[in-house]
Amino acid sequence: MLKYIILLTPIYVTLFWAMVLNTYNRQRSAPRSFLSKFMGVVCFIFISHYIFFASFPNIYFFIDPFYHYASILVLPMFNIYFRLLTQDKKVTFKHHTRYIAFPTLLFLLYIIGTLCTPINDYKAWIINRGFQSTSHGIQFLKIIHLTFRLTYLTQVIVTVFRNYMLIKIHGFKAMQFYGEIEDGSTHKINALNWLIIITGVVSIILGALGQGYFKNNLLGLGIASVLLSSLFFTIGLLGNQQKELNPGIRLEPEEDSENELKALSITAQQEILQKLLVLFEENKLYLNNKTNITDVAQILGTNRTYISSIINQQFNMNFCCFVNNYRVEELERVVTKHPEYGIEELVEACGFGSVDSLKRAIKANFNLTYSEWKKQKRLETQNIVKRTPKNCFR
């Protein structure tokens, strides 16, 4: 019974995320939808493991080529997911076929090898990869099997490097769009890239040990199951939270954005700047934690590029920093007026989207942790109270 629970756990985890990432319509996007397909392919891999280790050989014999195909599809799919977060609007035949072309070729060669191999030799080789045979089909399958392994190793390196470059090139764009620190930060997407490194290394080690090693090793099977389940659960969790790093690619192009501020007179720039300051200083738009640069552009009747450029030029900061500077100022006012407020109340009162966002804003502005900052503010408030009587007597 324990063995079946161990084998089913990663299936449940990946199936859960495959459904969740493609279920909520209000949050559905091209990256989330594609990550759900990625989880579906991973789920199939774990189903294949279940069939193999639960001793259903007559079924697994037919599944093995598809299992190997899925195994070398996951990393290219993860790279496509990163591309959808950063530079591609949607999955297209033109742009993304090349990522699965070689895996598909290997799969077709594997199918040809199985068809050219005597059925008894093929079944014996599936159960024991060290099976010796004079069959040309088995020799061919061994070469293809080795190529699968080498391909996966290469994919780990290539995928991680490509993803790193995508983050490096497009990472700053989220901060120019979102007003929420957590949405504009790259820490989640960097964590996703690290997780795929760890998952790839773990998979390589488990593959080197071989399926035979785990066949009658319940402890080893349990450790592998818990480790992989944890990794893919975390990938699903972060992927569920991760917003597009370059959301501008899904927005309508701006007709007058090519020359940015060069197309505007000084007077027009000053007019936009004054309206922007009124919007934040008087109307306090920053208290809405969903605020982004598109919302601001629509309210002011201009475009994103102009606003972004004016903020960069006048304040030497990006849109996200601009918005959160106002939130930090509001935070100081609220804490002074309501020192009894807890962190959740401060988050809601000052426009932050989460506790983590508030903490990051404090760290960025004061280089202090929340606890250190709150203690400092408490001391400042106490000193003001102590000085008040003296001021009254003057």
Q: Do domains 2-249 and 262-393 have the same CATH topology?
A: no
| CB environment 214-238: b (16+ within 10 A), e (fewer) | beeeeeebbebbebbbebbbbbbeb
Q: Report which DSSP code applies to 178.
A: B
Q: Which fold has domain 262-393?
A: Arc Repressor Mutant, subunit A (1.10.10)
Task: Please list the alpha-helical segments (H only) found in 338-369.
Answer: 343-350, 355-366
Exposed (0-12), middle (13-18) or buried (19+): which is 325, by Cβ within 10 Å?
middle
pLDDT (tens, 9 = 90+) of the chain, 394 residues, equals: 788 899 999 999 999 999 999 886 555 688 999 999 999 999 999 999 999 888 777 888 899 999 999 999 999 999 999 999 999 988 988 889 999 999 999 999 999 999 999 999 888 888 887 778 778 889 999 999 999 999 999 999 999 999 999 999 998 888 888 888 888 889 999 999 999 999 999 999 998 888 778 878 889 899 999 999 999 999 999 999 898 888 877 776 554 444 555 667 788 888 999 999 999 999 999 999 889 999 999 999 888 888 988 998 889 999 999 999 999 999 999 988 888 889 999 999 999 999 999 999 999 888 999 999 988 887 876 665 444 444 433 3
Query: Residues 266, 272, 276, CA angle at the centre, nearest 5°?
Result: 140
Q: What is the residue extent of each domain of the chain?
A: 2-249, 262-393
Distance CA 11, CA 46 (A): 6
Distance of CA 170 to CAs 9, 53, 164, 174, 330, Å?
36, 43, 10, 8, 30
Q: Which CATH architecture has domain 2-249?
A: Up-down Bundle (1.20)
Distance CA 214, CA 41 (A): 22
Q: Residue 291: what are its φ and ψ, rounded to 5°? A: -60, 135
- Residue carrying the six token digits 């598109």: 294
CB atoms within 10 A of CB 379: 10
Distance CA 329, CA 98 (A): 50
Distance of CA 120 to CAs 55, 139, 145, 243, Å?
17, 14, 18, 51
Distance CA 354, CA 331 (A): 14
Distance of CA 204 to CAs 14, 149, 196, Å?
19, 8, 12
Q: What pTM was estimated for this model as a whole?
A: 0.86
Q: Give the CA count within 13 Å in the CB-facing half-sphere of 170.
A: 22
